[in-house]
Amino acid sequence: MSGTRTLAITPGRVTALKGLAMLLVAILALILPLIAPDPATTGMAVFTVMYVGLASAWNIMGGYTGYISLGHAAFFGFGAYSFGLMINHLNMAPGYLPFVLVPVAGLLTAALAVGIGWVALRTRAATFVIVTIAFMFMLQLLGENLVKLTGGGAGLALPYSHDWGGDFFNIPYYYAMLALAVLTIGVSWWIRRSKFGLGLLAIRDDEDKALAVGVPTRSFKLTAFVISAVLVGMIGAVYAYYVTYLYPQFAFDPLIGISMVLMAFLGGLGTVSGPVIGALLLEPAQMEFAYRFGASRLYLVFYAAVFLIVILLLPRGIVPSVADLVHSWRRRRQAGPTAGGSRNAPVSAGEEPPATAQQRLASP
């Protein structure tokens, strides 16, 4: 299989290229605060890395199982509020110590996700989408109405460290977000390779058939839902600590919920790298636009336009489309008559050589 011609794109070389690109991105992400220490850049970096994590976490449910949740902002806001309430009630001094509350907020989010998932996953497809939206608004309403607990519309203030002044202020949050993003990508990658992930893909392709061949669909779906929610909740906790002030309509913002979906779609649904690429492209652009046109609400129009263009022109996302290009180029180079075969299988996963989840399940 290993072509030795100088320009041939072999699987080995693609992997090496991918590895090199990943290494570059990782190094860049690690040293970014050193290259560009000004607060404007690092502030933008905090949110960009936050969305890398959010989109990747959403993808574990939405991309792998095909269950589109538009209500993941519920977990984001819940994680944020549970972190804020914990830090306030424990009278914790701001600094590095409160970061230990982030996993705790994740655990609380897990409990919520089990409850919501148990109800929402009784439904499929369109109804599931609606139910997740409804749950998000339900939590937003709780945030507004439980005034004694959350402060309601007046907001919830969190302590912040006065030691982290000036250029340094964003740095701890940046690395916290980065750590969570790396964790999320790692989890996503691990799931994609595991038998569990294979089961999730089978559910996406045909849930009833998956059940018939022995995939425990109910528990798999719930597990994926909870994992995805926990990661989103932990990111929400760091967000709360970063912005230091929580309002129900901003913590449970439908735009946050839809942004992670759009980023995953833009990059490529159900791939590991897709949501990362989508977030890296979209979030800086969106922030720039909101900054320039925020007052006139025109940034919403921009957002809508990007959204429509992505879905109508690139319904499968960047990564699968590029992967297709590479594959067809390679096939043309090899020019073998045997190269056709199952290439036309409508798999939207893209990063891997084709074979539907069912085929792969059949041959372990």
Partner 1 sequence: MTLVIEAAVLGVLTGGVYALMASGLTLIFGVMRIINVGHGALVVLGAYLSFALFRSLHMDPFLSLVVTMPVMFALGVVLQLVFIRPLKTDREALSVLVTYALALGIEGVLGYVFTTNFVELRAWYETASFEVFGFHITWVYVFGFALCLTILGALFLMLYRTSFGGAIRATMLNRTAAQLIGVDVDRVAAIAFGIGVATAAAGGVVFGITNAFNPGSHYDLISRLLTIIVLGGLGSLRGAVIAALIMLVSEDITQVLISPVWANFVFFVILVVILIVRPQGLYGVRVRDRI
- C-alpha 294: how far from chain center: 24
Nearest-approach distance from CB 269 to partner 1, in angstroms: 9
- Give me the amino acid identity at 241: Y
What does the block give as tokens for 29? 């992400």
Minimum CB distance to partner 1 smaller for 198 or for 263: 263
CA-CA distance, 148 to 170, in Å (whole number)?
A: 31
Q: Among 163, 208, 341, 344, indicate the residue that binds partner 1 (CB under 8 A).
A: 208
Site residues for partner 1, 294-313, by CB under 8 A, read 296-305, 307-308, 311-312
On the CB side of 303, CA atoms within 13 Å amount to 21
- Give me the amino acid identity at 325: L
Q: Among 14, 25, 111, 130, indicate the residue that binds partner 1 (CB under 8 A).
A: 130
Q: Among 31, 125, 154, 157, indicate the residue that binds partner 1 (CB under 8 A).
A: 125
Q: Is 154 in the site for partner 1 (CB under 8 A)?
A: no
Site residues for partner 1, 68-87, by CB under 8 A, read 68, 70
Using the CB atoms, write b or e for 43-69: b if 16+ within 10 Å: bbbbbbbbbbbbbbbbbbbbbbbbbbb
What does the block give as tokens for 340? 């056709």
Work out the end-to-end distance of the chain between its first and last CA atoms, rounded to an integer number of angstroms.
22
Nearest-approach distance from CB 162 to partner 1, in angstroms: 35
Q: Which stretch binds partner 1 (CB under 8 A): 82-90, 166-174, 188-196, 260-268?
A: 260-268
Q: Is 17 in the site for partner 1 (CB under 8 A)?
A: no
CA-CA distance, 84 to 342, in Å (whole number)?
A: 52
Q: Among 336, 337, 346, 364, indicate the residue that binds partner 1 (CB under 8 A).
A: 346
Q: Which stretch binds partner 1 (CB under 8 A): 31-39, 131-139, 181-189, 211-219?
A: 131-139
List 157's β-bridge partners, or say none.
Answer: 245
- C-alpha 149: how far from chain center: 29
Return the number of other C-beta atoms located less than 10 Å from residue 207's C-beta.
Answer: 18
Evaluate whether 61 touches 201 at the Cβ level (below 8 Å).
no
Nearest-approach distance from CB 210 to partner 1, in angstroms: 12
Nearest-approach distance from CB 343 to partner 1, in angstroms: 17
Positions that interact with partner 1 (CB under 8 A): 66, 68, 70, 119-120, 122-127, 129-131, 133-135, 137-138, 141-142, 144-145, 207-208, 254-255, 258, 261-262, 265, 296-305, 307-308, 311-312, 315, 346
